[in-house]
Structure formats: structure tokens, C-alpha cells
Amino acid sequence: MKKAYVIFPAVAMLVFFGFWWNFRSEYEAKEQAKVRQARQIKEDKLRKEAQDRELAIKNAYAEQERRKKAKEQREIKERADREARQAAVEARNKSYRDRDKLEKQVERLTAEVKTEKELMAKLDEQKRKLVDEEKFLRTYVTLAETNAKALSDLIDQIAKADAAQAAAAAAAAKLKSSS
């Protein structure tokens, strides 16, 4: 029994060390991959922005040369209105998507809470049964020990009675032989 106090913790420690080692080796690789990916995204974004800027500058010069000052102001105003509408539509769509996502998450979490409560109820029932069984076993062990003591006392009494009977038979035999 004393070996179990050493073996089970040692096995648990080895299993934990295995998980820890696996996590440690994978964690560093994942972190390096994330850093590389973030750097690549940043570089790609900077390149795209540089290309976009060059294109925007060329377009701006072409527009400036082709249009008159009044026409330029009108187009700037129309572009701003369009972007504002598009931003408003995108914001509305994003809010709908976020709302739907959160509703689904609430439903999922509600279902998880329900299953966890059911599991806890089952565990409480199992715990109650085990406590009842422990009480029964303690009562049974006490009763068994009492019975064992009673039987031991009975065997001692039988042994004393046999010894007394043997002594009485020896005394009777002695009396018979002396008479």
C-alpha cells in the first residue's frame, strides 16, 4: 500500500512533464511563426500602401489636369458622401454580424451551462451514494469486529470449559483409580 503513495504521484509527475515538454516545444515554434507572420503582413501592407500612394498621386495629377476647379470640388464632395454611406452600411452590417455571433455564443454557452449542471447533479448523486456506502461499510465493519470479539470470547469460554471438563475427567479418573 505504501508503494502506491510513491508510484501514483511519480506516474502523474511523468505524465505532467510529458505534456509540459510537448507544450514548451510547440509554444516557442508557434510564437516564432506568429512573429514571422506579423512581420510579413506588415511588410506586405507597407508595399501595398506604397503602390497605392504612387497610383493615387498619378491619378490625382491626371484628374487635376483634366478637370476644372469647380468640377474637382463637386467630385470630392460626391466621393466623401459615397464613402460615408459605404462606411455606414459596413458599420451596420458589422453590427448585425456581431449581434448574430454573440447570440450564437450565448446559445452555446447556455447549452454548456445546462450540460455542466446536469453533470454536477450526477456527480452530487454519485457522491451521496458513495457517502451512504461508506456509512454502511463503517457500520458493517464495526458490527463484524463486534461479532469477531464475541466469537473470540466464545472460543475462549469453550476452551476453558474443555479444560475444566478435562480436569474434571482427570479428577474423576484419579478418584476411580484410588478407590
Query: Domain segments of the chain: what residues?
Result: 9-66
Mean pLDDT, residues 173-179: 79
Residue 97 pLDDT greater than 90, yes or no:
yes
Mean predicted confidence (pLDDT) in 136-143: 93
Average pLDDT over residues 79-106: 95
Per the CB < 8 A criterion, the answer to whether 72 and 64 are in contact is yes
Reported pTM: 0.35
How far is 145 from 48, CA to CA, in rounded Å? Answer: 87
pLDDT at 40: 92
Residue 63 pLDDT greater than 80, yes or no: no
Residue 166 has pLDDT above 70, yes or no: yes
Say whether pLDDT at 84 is over 80.
yes
Mean pLDDT along residues 97-106: 95
Q: Are 67 and 75 in contact (CB under 8 A)?
A: yes
Mean pLDDT of all residues in the chain?
A: 89
Name the residue with higher pLDDT: 110 or 65. Answer: 110
pLDDT of residue 179: 65
pLDDT of residue 1: 55
| Range from 2-6, 16-20, 55-59 carrying the lowest mean pLDDT | 2-6
| Res. 21 pLDDT band, cuts 50 70 90 | confident
Beta carbons of 72 and 63 less than 8 angstroms apart = yes
Contacts of 63 (CB under 8 A, 6+ apart): 72, 75
